[in-house]
A = this chain, B = another copy of it.
Amino acid sequence: MPAEFSLIDAIARRAAARDDVVLGIGDDAAILAVPAGRQLVVAMDTLNAGVHFPEDTAAADIGWKALAVNLSDLAAMGAQPAWCTLSLSLPEPGAGWVDGFLDGFLTLAALHGVALVGGDTTRGPLSVCVTAHGLVEAGRALRRDGACVGDDLWVTGAPGDAAGALAQWRAGGERDAALRARLDRPTPRVEAGLALAAVAHAAIDVSDGLLADLGHVCAASGMGMEVELDALPASPMLAAAFDPGQRRVLQCTGGDDYELCFTAAREQREGIAVIAEAVGVAMTRIGRVVPGDAVVALECDGRRWDPPRRGFEHFAD
């Protein structure tokens, strides 16, 4: 069992460098150089064992996901990821577990050029807290409060997969590995967020469930939304594993997908198609911004559909 300081050394040895990291792991705090004209974007999310991932999740997947959920927040702001800090609470760390954790964490960090610059290791129930720092051109961040009446409503990728994997895991029967990968190794839509910053009016990442998260955009923007249920994209594996009724619930209320939902003017449709092609991520129009204050999900005949619940809330679950 490694002592804290050798654990920190082990982490420091594997952390990548960046020119704007003046001082990384190993002092009381990190020192970072923010370029002139850029604003700092800061997100912080914690994953707790048994709450945010099944207890049997591989160490590398936990590492990946802990960073992914934070990079997803930066993506939803249209920010370029730069640095992160990591606080790791472990009951009884085997060096092997930490190595596996770092495999996942640092693989994703390297994909986005993110430097791990600090944090701490503590004894406690398994918990991973990450703070991610990104940069945006001053005044150009994507926010939740910019949706306008008449905007199209869009989603990247196919929501519902992660919730489908969780439903299969809970049921204990047949489990689809591709769905499970979407739960364990979500793809933060960083490039999509960066490209969309120029054309979208408002954005959020789908972490708590599509309708619940769109509700936050409505509240921040002082708008309502109509979601066309038949327009919601479904992945082939979700379509294969769940009947249409189940699928709809997963798509509308399932958390943990980390797709982006965003609104943009109708004139941007062509531009968004170009962006989707350029970044290699499907972008689907699923509704529109309307006057009001609520998210309404509509059947193809215009009838309103109410899900059994809006999304996942910690403490309320």
Residues of B within 8 A of A44 (CB): 85-87, 118-120, 129, 131
B85 and A28: CB pair below 8 A? no
Task: Indicate whether A171 reaches chain B with its CB closer than 8 angstroms.
Answer: no
How would residues 120 to 145 of chain A score, 1 for a CB under 8 Å from any chain B CB and 0 otherwise?
11111101010111101010010111
Interface size for A (C-beta < 8 A) is 75
Complex Cα distance, B131 from A72, in Å, reads 19
Residues of B within 8 A of A120 (CB): 44-46
Q: Assuming A119-B44, A122-B52, is B76 touching A28 (CB within 8 A)?
A: yes
A124 and B51: CB pair below 8 A? yes
A123 and B89: CB pair below 8 A? no
A171 to nearest B CB, angstroms? 22
Q: Which of the residues B40, B46, B50, B129 comes within 8 Å of A40, measured between beta carbons? A: B40
A3 and B85: CB pair below 8 A? no
Residues of B within 8 A of A47 (CB): 122
B89 and A27: CB pair below 8 A? no
Task: Indicate whether A42 reaches chain B with its CB closer than 8 angstroms.
Answer: yes
CB-based nearest B residue for A212: B5
A270 to nearest B CB, angstroms? 27
Residues of B within 8 A of A220 (CB): 26-27
A207 to nearest B CB, angstroms? 9
A52 to nearest B CB, angstroms? 7
Chain A stretch 68-111: residues in CB contact (< 8 A) with chain B: 72-74, 76-77, 79, 83, 85-87, 89-90, 93
A53 to nearest B CB, angstroms? 12
CB-based nearest B residue for A316: B3
Q: Assuming A124-B125, A127-B124, A129-B87, is B29 touching A43 (CB within 8 A)?
A: yes
- Given A30-B42, A32-B39, A34-B39, 14 other A-B contacts at CB below 8 A? A23-B143, A26-B144, A28-B73, A29-B43, A29-B73, A29-B77, A30-B43, A31-B136, A34-B40, A44-B129, A48-B125, A89-B127, A124-B125, A125-B127
* 28 A/B residue pairs, CB under 8 Å, sorted by A: A1-B315, A4-B313, A4-B316, A7-B315, A26-B144, A26-B220, A27-B143, A27-B144, A27-B145, A28-B73, A28-B144, A28-B204, A29-B41, A29-B134, A31-B40, A31-B136, A32-B39, A33-B40, A34-B34, A42-B131, A44-B85, A44-B118, A46-B120, A46-B127, A48-B89, A85-B131, A125-B125, A127-B127
